[in-house]
Each structure stands twice: as structure tokens, then as C-alpha cells.
Amino acid sequence: MNRRTFLKWAGASAAAPGLAAMNPSAAEVLAVNPENVKARNRNRSTVVCRHGMACTSQPLATVAALDVLKAGGNAIDAAIAANAMLGLVEPMMNGIGGDLFAIAWIEKEQRLVGLNASGRSAYDFSLKDAKRLGLKSIPRNSPLSWNVPGCVSGWAALSGTHGKLPLAKIVEPAVRYALEGFPVSPVIARDWKLAIEKHPTLMAVFAVDGRVPEFGDIFANHKLAAALEAIGKEGADAFYRGESADRIVAHSSAHGGRLSMKDFEEHTATWVDPVSTNYRGYDVWEIPPNGQGIAALQMLNMLETFDFTAMTPNSAEHLHLLAEAKKLAFEDRAVYYADPEFAKVPTEALISKEYGKSHAKLIDPRKAATELTYGDPALDSDTIYLTTADDEGNMVSFIQSVYSAFGSQIAPDGTGFAMQNRGQSFSLDPKHRNCLEPHKRPFHTIIPAFMTKDGKPVMSFGVMGGDFQPQGHVQIVMNIVDFHMSPQDAGDQPRIAHSGSPEPTGGTMRAGGVLEFEEGIPDSVKVGLAERGHRISPNTNAQGGYQAIWREEGPRRYFGASDPRKDGMAAGY
């Protein structure tokens, strides 16, 4: 607190020494000031442990992961346990009604594996259907935005291939808290305050006696407990061929949706090879499209051509180059990123060093670009992020989402969870790679990341936050590699976000877009950016939510970082 703020606070206290000031109510003591949350981007210590580590956005999820590790599970089991818990305690961001992606280092195989557990559109939903309905875009709060949720298929694939414990044991902590109830944490309480009273199906699940829970209130979800118990006993079939699928399909059919049991029965998660670029000696890995991870790699390839050794972190010179690289990468993102099973996506060309160098030449170090177009490579998303590591050396980078807050804002009758609205990300332009087609995966924003050096694991990390995620990944990598910060310091630094680029559903950038800043960026930097032609937003908002685990050998140690912008923590043993 600076001197002026302190004196103002002290003066107000001295002027009002009455009983109310001396004895604040419980509500006053427990109130969470949103303005304070915006500024929570400093002051945490890096957590270091030898045997196991978990970093998540809610303490109960971190503890659930550690309990599973101590019960004989590995990092894969722990990641699933944390995700199951987060679906309960942070339901507006994630849950079994959504999708997931993961990158895992498998120690015994000495390699990275990638998993795309995003869902596909209904077989019975096409561009012709959308046109017949008069749609200009897919409505966000409608069963038409539903795809088959991929989360549970991802759990089954990860657990069945690389896990150690049965699913029943893994989801046990979440089931217990869903039955007994848990106290709602402060940042999540703020996010819960979305006007769910406008959505009866959400009120039926996520309100307590008709009231949205507040910080410290106890919340239980018996319907979710039943769904998780069934998944634990019967595996993914309990979801895709059982009661959950029946209820989702019934609600969809009754309210104009298109999902059928065939869509659920034929859903599969897909193992994929992560893709990478080398940034100053470190290999940064992402999941290939239909996600946006390669935008981070494109940005890094451009930024690598500039010398940051003489620049100050978060200076106007640094942030200008970051924003300009983002603009160029997102022009390509809007055109080329789509489901590779349906469209030719030039991933290798887009993330090549040659393409990055040629694009970097389009960046003027002194002037912001206001009009851009996509490149011409050779043609051949609301979220949680968590990461875990174990005593064997396995590490998992894991991201899961229902897209918007509470997804489609529909919880099908009897399910205990909200359905995602990721189908809203399809374009209705028949010429677009990301256009709506039956049984197709839409463009996805959620992206896990990983970093290796000389073929060995260095860091599992991610930054949630829709379109911000590639920008967040790049800021973390630059803070560590260019500016030599610790993993915790790299996440504590104030961030910037550029908005206004075209989307994979259409649109064009206007007047160069807008830069938005977290608190902590000096006004002098904003002036320097404005002088370069950037439009500056007057708003300050927290950008993203970061977790990371850094690994060192000789002996092995894990260094955990957790974002103070969220309720969570890094912990290990």
C-alpha cells in the first residue's frame, strides 16, 4: 500500500471509530473486493518439492491430486482427480459437460504424448440446417451450440493408457465433497454470481434454496456425485451410453438441439503428436489444430528474430513487438485453424522458422499495424488449467473447459453439470475451413503447453483465458527465457492482452485492435505504445490464470507456480 493510500485509509478509520468499525459484520469481513482481485499479480513464493507436485486454481483440487499421488497414483491419475474436483468447485469454468486437451511426459517412454479430447458436432446438424433456421451464427445459449462433451473420454484414455489407479479411486475425493458439500472460495464466488437466476436449469443445480452461493457458503451437488460414481464404476460408457447421455439427448431433442445417442456412442478421444518450435534453445510444445496452440509457436518464431537482451520486461519496446507478432499470428489463426480431419491445415508451414522470419519482417519496431491480412504458407476458448508431476518423473499439462461461463448456461435435467457451448465457434461460411459440418470438431481456444530442452522435460505450463491463451504462453516463455525469471515470477508479472483480431468465425481487425493492461504497467509504457500507434484501453482486468511446474535433476526437484489471480495453490511433498 503506498503512502497516499495508507493515509487515506488511516484517516477514514480514525474519523469513524464507532461500534460498526470496531465490530464489522461477518459479511463485511468476508467480502471480496473485485478491484483487489485485479491487482493480485504478485507476491507468491515458488513451491519446491521432490516427490510429487500439483498446481491448480482451487486448493481442494490441489489437495485431491496430492491425495491420489500419496495413495499410489501417478501424475496422470492426479490430473484427473484434480479435474474432477474442479468440475465440482469451479463449475462455471469446467466440468464433464466440456472438453479437454493434455500433453504428458511419460517418463518410462521418455517422450511427450498429446491428447485431443474435444467433442464433435451432431451428425444431424449441417450448414443447410443452419440456413433453414435462419442462423447468422450459432446461438451461444442453446442446445444448437452443444457438441458431444469430450472430457470423460479424455479421462478414460489417459487413465486406461498411462494411469495406475482405477477411476473409482481417482474420482473419490470429488464424489465425497459433492455429497458432503464444500465452502465456496472467493474468486470462484465472484464468478458464480453470473445471473444464473435467468436460467432455470442452472438455478436447479447451482443455487442453494434459490440463492446463488457466496464466498464461504457450503455447496453440494448430489446429482454430479451420482454421475461421477457411475463413471468410476463403469468407465466412459456410463457417460456416453448411460444416463448422462440419455438426459443430454432428451433435453436437446425437447429444445431444438440436434444431438443423438449415435453421436455419443461414436465419440472418441484422439491421441495426437504435439508440435513444437525451438525458442532460444528451448523446445515449446503445443497441441496441433483444431486448437489455437500453434499461434503461440508462430509468435515465438517471429519474436526470436528480435534481440531482447537490452530491453526491460514490459517496456514499450517489448510489448510493441509482442502485440505486433500476435496480430500477425491471429490473422492466420482466423483463416487456417480448423479440424484437420475435414480441412487442409498447413501446420508445418505455419510454424516453420522460414515462415516466422518472413512474417517478422512485416513488423515495424516503431509503428503499430492497423491493417493486416493472413499469410500465404505453402499448403500441402472459460477454462481451468492444471499441472501435476510424480515421483517417477511423469508430468501432465492439462486444460479443460465448458467455453463460456457455465457453457451454454443449460444444465440438462437431472445431470448436475452445465453443457458446453463450444459449437458456437463454428463458422457458417461454407468456404471457411472451420465451417459447420456433421461430426466435426470446431476451432478450440483451450491449449496446454510444455517445454523441453535437449529432449528432456523442463516445464509443464498453461495460461487459461480464451483468445488470450497464446499471448499468455508467449509472455510466460519470454519472461523465463529472455528475462530470466523464476516460474512463479514469470506468472506474477503484469500482463497485456491485444483484442480485435479476426476470429475463426469471421470478421476483420479494425484500427489495429486494442491493448488492455493489468495493473502494474506504468503509464509511461502506455504512452510509449500510444506513440507507436496502439489504441489503449482505459480498463484494467486480470488476464488469464497460470499454473506451472519446472523440473530440475540431480537430484530431481519440482518447482511449482500458481497464479495469485485465482483461488488455487501449488503444493507437493
Question: Is 309 designated active site?
Answer: no
Pairing of strands 545-552, 456-464: antiparallel
Q: What pLDDT is stored for residue 541 in this prediction?
A: 83
**φ, ψ dihedrals at 466, nearest 5°:** 55, -135
CA 358, chain centre distance (Å): 30
Catalytic residue among 56, 62, 347, 383: 383
Distance, in Å, from the CA atom of 178 to the CA atom of 202, rounded to the nearest integer, reads: 16
Q: What pLDDT is stored for residue 540 in this prediction?
A: 85
Region 110-137: what's the mean pLDDT?
Answer: 97
Judge whether residue 45 has pLDDT over 90: no
Q: For residue 428, how many other CB atoms are within 10 A of its CB?
A: 16
User: Which residue, among 149, 168, 153, has the nearest Cα to 237 in the 3D structure?
Assistant: 153
Taking only the tens place, the pLDDT of each residue in 333-391 is 999 999 999 999 999 999 999 999 999 999 999 999 887 665 655 444 478 999 999 99
Q: How is residue 153 written as a grid cell? A: 473420454
Q: What pLDDT is stored for residue 340 in this prediction?
A: 95
Question: What average pLDDT is seen over the chain?
Answer: 90
Q: What pLDDT is stored for residue 25 in this prediction?
A: 44
Taking only the tens place, the pLDDT of each residue in 242-300 is 999 999 999 999 999 999 999 999 999 999 999 999 999 999 999 999 999 999 999 99
Q: Where does the pLDDT of residue 29 fall: very low under 50, low under 70, confident under 90, or very high at 90 and above?
A: very low
Q: How is residue 145 written as a grid cell? A: 451450440
Element (H, E) at 401: strand 395-401
Residue with cell 478414460: 156
Distance, in Å, from the CA atom of 36 to the CA atom of 497, rounded to the nearest integer, reads: 19
Judge whether residue 1 has pLDDT over 90: no
Q: Are 334 and 374 in contact (CB under 8 A)?
A: yes
Set out the domains of the chain in order of their start, with CATH numbers. 49-544+563-573 (3.60.20.40)
Q: pTM score > 0.85 for this model?
A: yes
Task: Tell me the one-letter amino acid at 5.
Answer: T
Q: Residue 555, class by beta-carbon neighbours within 10 Å (0-12 exposed, 13-18 middle, 19+ buried)?
A: exposed
Taking only the tens place, the pLDDT of each residue in 72-107 is 999 999 999 999 999 999 999 999 999 999 999 999
Taking only the tens place, the pLDDT of each residue in 146-198 is 999 999 999 999 999 999 999 999 999 999 999 999 999 999 998 898 778 78
